[in-house]
Amino acid sequence: MSDFTYELPDEPHARGAQGVVYFGRRSDGREVAIKIASEHPSAAAGLASEVEMLRACASAHVVGVVEVLDFVKLRGRPAMIMPRYHGHLGDWLQGVLDAPDARSLGELLRRCGQLARILSAVHRVRHQGSALIHRDVKPENIFIDDGGDLVLGDFGGAMGIDGLRAVELAVFGTPMWAPFDQILPGRAMPDPTWDTYALCVMLFAGLTGARPAYQADPRGLLTDRGRELWETARQATSTAAEQSRTLRQAFHTKRKGASAADLVDFTGRSALTRGDRQALDRGVARLGELAGLDTKRIQAVQRGSWNLLVRGLSPASHPSPPNRYRDAEELAELLEDLLSVVEATTSPQRRDRLADLIGGTIEIDAPVLDEPSSLVSDGPRWGLWLGLLACLGLGAGAWTLRETIQAAAIQAGVLTATGTARIPERIVTLEGSNLSVPGFALDRTEVSGDRWAECTAAGACSPADTGVLPVMGVTHEEAAGFCAWAGGRLMSEPEFRAATAGGPWPWGQEAPTCAHAVAMGCEGPAPVGSTALGSSPEGVLDLAGNAWEWTSEGLLVGGSAESGASSLGRRGRIELAADEPPPKTAGLRCAYDL
């Protein structure tokens, strides 16, 4: 029995073969989207399956997947209740194409990278013994929440991958985005590259304003039977519900038993044509010039985008040699590497991968932080000032400037004469209407070894290393015990998200350097509070990198000194099995009720 009632308008927002979607309101005033199953015999079971898959994602702590708020009966039919989102990636992409600006190229790469991370997490979910694939990745199914983050929705066609077993598929997906081996053959082997392929089509579309030639008009690759099926599939996915069901059944009958080889002829073909290359180069040059990139960096992004897409849009996918991105995490890293070229934040650990991606090396004349700052923030004002100076002082041969900054910090009272942090307020209060959780207080930094030693001396904690480094290697039980001794508790996962809600990282959208977070490629772990530029707007430090942090749910969040830059902040999460030991970099901070 639901705790809420729901108010629906007279007319739905959208109709599909399996149901209708309304934008309504919950009895507590919250705006919601309501998906009601149609009367078709398979619709109720299909909606129940979608709910199960989304709940499996939630249980696996997948971030960036639409939440199931309720599953009820409305108007006599099963209904799934979801949050209402006021925008989707299709609208945003159209805005980029209509009126691009200096941020468009970076934002396109960043958002595609974020989507790749979401897909990677979805593909790792186990549901009824199988890994999940979405099968209908397209801009209209990717919502944008109030914080600007992407949320993947519409799991109505999602399915499990059962090893290497081919299955007879019902037509699902959108031909304008899906690869041929998903749409056409009667028997196909479900594959995570179906999702990464669609993402690559979106990237190409965002860069060029068009789809790749063979995706827009595949007839040049298809046999006579393939062309007939393609036209039927196109009509089946773009017509009204009743006619769509008839066409889908006709499609299924026509292609029964067909394999990809019967329908598609790849002989002498590559994934992209010469015209595609020209369109891609023009699109990147246009966006790169708006972003203020010099010729070398524009050419690097052109080559990198081409090499990424010519693999990601391969007409067929095979496990070996890899052509397409079976691992969406790999695709995310490559997209983030290209973003680092755009933002001039290329770090040494990225350069080898970039050399492979762009077919050469690139040197960027911009400050690159290869090691963490030794300065510690005393608050947002000093943190920003010292962090910006630290950026200048961390390059080769800049030790005199660093010493000057440290002397100024000692004089100002931010550091003691020995360089130890002087943080007069250890706890930061987070409250206000912009929070998605009730107000709470949080330790400004991770718990240090010295602070843990106080608990040990009181007999409440087991011995651990002392010092200014974060205490690490602690279990969830030990972490909870310390916070109870300190008069607090472990923060919840929603509280962690609220503390880092400014963007993908606690400090916002700017790509991480070693002055933002101590991660792989930085010298660490570092003393607590060492990364001034990584301060949240409220002045909380260390929310990304250095040590993983326990939450009350037993989830480790934030990333550590051993995490890649792309797995920091809200993106960094580890869920351990009950008998699995914590990583050696598992630490904590405490939260406090107001």
- Look up the pTM and report it: 0.59
Distance CA 419, CA 526 (A): 13
CATH code: domain 424-593 is 3.90.1580.10
- Over the chain (594 residues), the average pLDDT of each successive run of 10 is 86 82 93 92 89 92 92 92 92 91 95 95 84 88 90 84 49 63 63 90 93 77 78 69 71 71 69 88 95 92 93 73 82 92 72 70 46 31 32 30 37 39 60 77 92 90 89 94 92 89 78 85 86 86 93 91 82 80 92 88
Residue type, 526: A
Neighbours of 275 (CB within 10 A): 11
Q: Please, are residues 423 and 448 in contact by the beta-carbon 8 Å criterion?
A: no
H or E stretch covering 115: helix 104-124
Q: For the segment 531-556, what is each residue's pLDDT rounded down to a tens digit?
A: 888 888 888 999 999 999 999 988 99
In this structure, which topology does domain 89-358 adopt according to CATH? Transferase(Phosphotransferase); domain 1 (1.10.510)
Instruction: Return phi, psi of residue 222, to 5°.
Output: -100, 150
The residue whose two tokens read 């599953």 is: 71
DSSP output for 523-581: --S--TT--GGG--TT----SSSSSEEE-TTSEEEE--TTS-GGG-EEEEEEE--TTPP
User: What is the CATH architecture assignment of 6-83?
Assistant: 2-Layer Sandwich (3.30)
Overall size of the chain counted in residues: 594
CA-closest candidate to residue 536, choices 510, 566, 565: 510
For the chain, what are the domain ranges?
A: 6-83, 89-358, 424-593
pLDDT tens sequence across 492-532 = 988 998 888 766 788 887 778 888 899 887 888 999 988 88
